[in-house]
């Protein structure tokens, strides 16, 4: 796409759309006349031109690749996304290559792209998430944890729009929630976070979040099912127990599910996607890990044992089960809201309802042996 004309010493380093041909030798002038609709760039090696037609074709191809990820959602923001990449890397849009959709997450859309032979991940907030997440808080969390070396490598993050560019790791897999060794490492990783005793100004208040997510559903005129009313009164009682008995607050990830743990070839682990992070009870993180899986009760119990590195007390189990119930109920509401916006998560909503019902009963009845 680039061709070099004669070198002009007094014009090096300038970028122009029209060129004073009197400053160029006859050979270059002839070339310029032929390419008068092209954009010329003067470099240390000479005068380069970019063929506008080829540039437009390259851009169109890139736009089609990006919009294919989610045609309805991406169409309106694809230009903005490309401009973001262009500005971050100081390149032209045609230099953005090999756009490939990654597995769609429950909250966001992500795609791979190549710039200068290096691969990166671009995270785009999903529909409706602007009401669910305060993106500036994610940026604050990443800044706070950077000395711990426990997260992915951030290239760029927009604290307002939520766009995020990170380094792509090719030699990784996501954590296996049924591999006891990997799960132990995951529990140690979030314990490292908690024990660092980092502070941010914002909190993840489970009672406030439940109330807020319910209000989002009400504002959409969603008709709640019989299931919803079946469990709501139990959740109120569980919340009352937590408010009266738990005051400890540490910086928590809040969404430490298995797919947010990257396991490298050397078996080290990093924790990604800190968009929900805030001050909360550390046991919340343990509960959040457990509810994402189709874990049996012994497997749920095992998580707390791995985190505490000892046999939990009856009270610790009661607290833990309370958070399992509250977290499950929260994501049950979250799924109701997101599905009302057009997303679909299979049996995830029912799974979270089942967890919330089961563990609210366990918490209210007193625990581990019930």
Tokens of 113: 């792209």
Please indicate, yes or no, if residue 370 is contained in any of the structural domains. Answer: no
pLDDT digits (tens, 9 = 90+) for 28-70: 333 333 333 333 333 333 333 334 444 444 444 444 555 454 5
Residue 230: pLDDT band with limits 50, 70, 90: confident
Please indicate, yes or no, whether residues 152 and 218 belong to a single structural domain of this protein. no
pLDDT for 34 equals: 34
For residues 62 and 128, give the distance between their C-alpha atoms in angstroms, rounded to a whole number.
26
Identify the residue with better confidence: 327 or 29.
327
> 333, 364, 338: which is closest to 210 by C-alpha?
333
pLDDT digits (tens, 9 = 90+) for 289-314: 999 888 999 999 999 999 999 999 99
Please indicate, yes or no, whether residues 103 and 23 belong to a single structural domain of this protein. no
For residues 289 and 235, give the distance between their C-alpha atoms in angstroms, rounded to a whole number.
20
pLDDT digits (tens, 9 = 90+) for 95-119: 999 998 886 666 788 899 999 999 9
Identify the residue with better confidence: 127 or 24.
127
Residue 305's CATH number: 3.90.1200.10
- Angle among Cα 356, 357, 361 to the nearest 5 degrees reads 110
For residues 346 and 368, give the distance between their C-alpha atoms in angstroms, rounded to a whole number.
30
Residue 154's CATH number: 3.30.200.20
Query: Has residue 329 got a pLDDT over 70?
Result: yes
pLDDT for 294 equals: 80
CB 320 within 8 Å of CB 287: yes
pLDDT for 186 equals: 97
CB 151 within 8 Å of CB 164: no
CB 291 within 8 Å of CB 254: no
Please indicate, yes or no, if residue 160 is contained in any of the structural domains. Answer: yes
Q: How many residues belong to the chain?
A: 370
pLDDT for 77 equals: 62
pLDDT digits (tens, 9 = 90+) for 345-354: 899 999 999 9
Please indicate, yes or no, whether residues 23 and 86 belong to a single structural domain of this protein. no
Please indicate, yes or no, whether residues 263 and 249 belong to a single structural domain of this protein. yes
In order of 5, 124, 232, the CA distances from 337 in angstroms are 59, 19, 16
For residues 77 and 138, give the distance between their C-alpha atoms in angstroms, rounded to a whole number.
21
State the average pLDDT for the chain: 82
pLDDT for 370 equals: 47
pLDDT digits (tens, 9 = 90+) for 139-183: 999 999 999 999 999 999 999 999 999 999 988 999 999 999 999
pLDDT for 64 equals: 54
pTM exceeding the 0.75 threshold for the entire prediction: yes
> 14, 74, 8: which is closest to 41 by C-alpha?
14
Domain hosting residue 122, numbered range:
57-167
Query: Has residue 5 got a pLDDT over 50?
Result: no
Residue 271: pLDDT band with limits 50, 70, 90: very high
Q: Quick one: CA dihedral 343, 347, 352, 354, positive or negative?
A: positive
Please indicate, yes or no, whether residues 12 and 101 belong to a single structural domain of this protein. no
Phi, psi of 124 (to 5 degrees): -115, 125
Query: Has residue 220 got a pLDDT over 70?
Result: yes
pLDDT for 216 equals: 93
- Angle among Cα 7, 10, 11 to the nearest 5 degrees reads 70
pLDDT for 133 equals: 84
Identify the residue with better confidence: 101 or 5.
101
> Taking the CA of residue 323 as centre, how many other CA atoms within 13 Å lie in the half-sphere pointing to its CB?
24
In order of 85, 109, 203, 214, 290, the CA distances from 279 in angstroms are 32, 26, 4, 22, 19
Please indicate, yes or no, whether residues 297 and 325 belong to a single structural domain of this protein. yes
CB 345 within 8 Å of CB 335: yes
Residue 101: beta bridge partners? 111
Backbone region of residue 149 per phi and psi (left: phi > 0; alpha: psi in -120 to 50; beta: other values): left
> Taking the CA of residue 107 as centre, how many other CA atoms within 13 Å lie in the half-sphere pointing to its CB?
20
CB 25 within 8 Å of CB 6: yes
Count of domains in the chain? 3
For residues 352 and 131, give the distance between their C-alpha atoms in angstroms, rounded to a whole number.
21
Please indicate, yes or no, whether residues 220 and 234 belong to a single structural domain of this protein. yes
pLDDT digits (tens, 9 = 90+) for 77-100: 688 899 999 999 999 989 999 998
């Amino acid at each position: 796409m680039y061709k070099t004309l004669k070198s002009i010493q007094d014009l090096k380093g300038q970028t122009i759309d029209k060129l004073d041909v009197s400053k160029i030798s006859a050979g270059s002038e002839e070339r310029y006349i032929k390419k008068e609709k092209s954009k010329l760039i003067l470099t240390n090696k000479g005068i380069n031109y970019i063929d506008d037609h080829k540039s437009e074709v390259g851009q169109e191809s890139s736009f089609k690749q990006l919009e294919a990820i989610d045609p309805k959602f991406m169409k309106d923001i694809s230009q903005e996304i490309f401009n973001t990449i262009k500005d971050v890397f100081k390149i032209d849009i045609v230099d953005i290559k090999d756009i490939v959709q990654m597995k769609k997450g429950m909250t966001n859309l992500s795609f791979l792209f190549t710039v200068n032979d290096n691969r990166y991940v671009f995270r785009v907030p999903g529909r409706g998430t602007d009401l669910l997440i305060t993106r500036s808080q994610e940026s604050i969390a990443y800044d706070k944890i950077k000395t711990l070396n426990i997260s992915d490598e951030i290239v760029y993050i927009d604290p307002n729009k939520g766009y995020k560019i990170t380094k792509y790791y090719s030699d990784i897999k996501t954590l296996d929630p049924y591999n006891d060794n990997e799960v132990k490492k995951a529990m140690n990783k979030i314990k490292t976070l908690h024990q660092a005793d980092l502070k941010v100004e914002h909190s993840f208040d489970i009672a406030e979040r439940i109330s807020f997510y319910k209000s989002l559903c009400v504002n959409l005129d969603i008709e709640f099912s019989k299931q919803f009313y079946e469990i709501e009164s139990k959740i109120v009682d569980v919340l009352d127990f937590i408010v009266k008995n738990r005051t400890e607050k540490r910086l928590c990830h809040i969404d430490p599910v298995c797919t947010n743990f990257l396991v490298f070839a050397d078996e080290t682990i990093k924790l990604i996607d800190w968009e929900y992070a805030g001050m909360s009870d550390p046991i919340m993180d343990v509960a959040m890990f457990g509810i994402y899986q189709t874990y049996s009760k012994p497997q749920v119990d095992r998580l707390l044992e791995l985190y505490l590195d000892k046999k939990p007390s009856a009270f610790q189990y009661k607290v833990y089960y309370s958070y399992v119930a509250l977290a499950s109920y929260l994501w049950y509401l979250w799924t109701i809201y997101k599905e009302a916006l057009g997303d679909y998560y299979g049996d995830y909503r029912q799974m979270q309802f089942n967890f919330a019902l089961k563990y609210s009963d366990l918490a209210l009845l007193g625990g581990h042996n019930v």
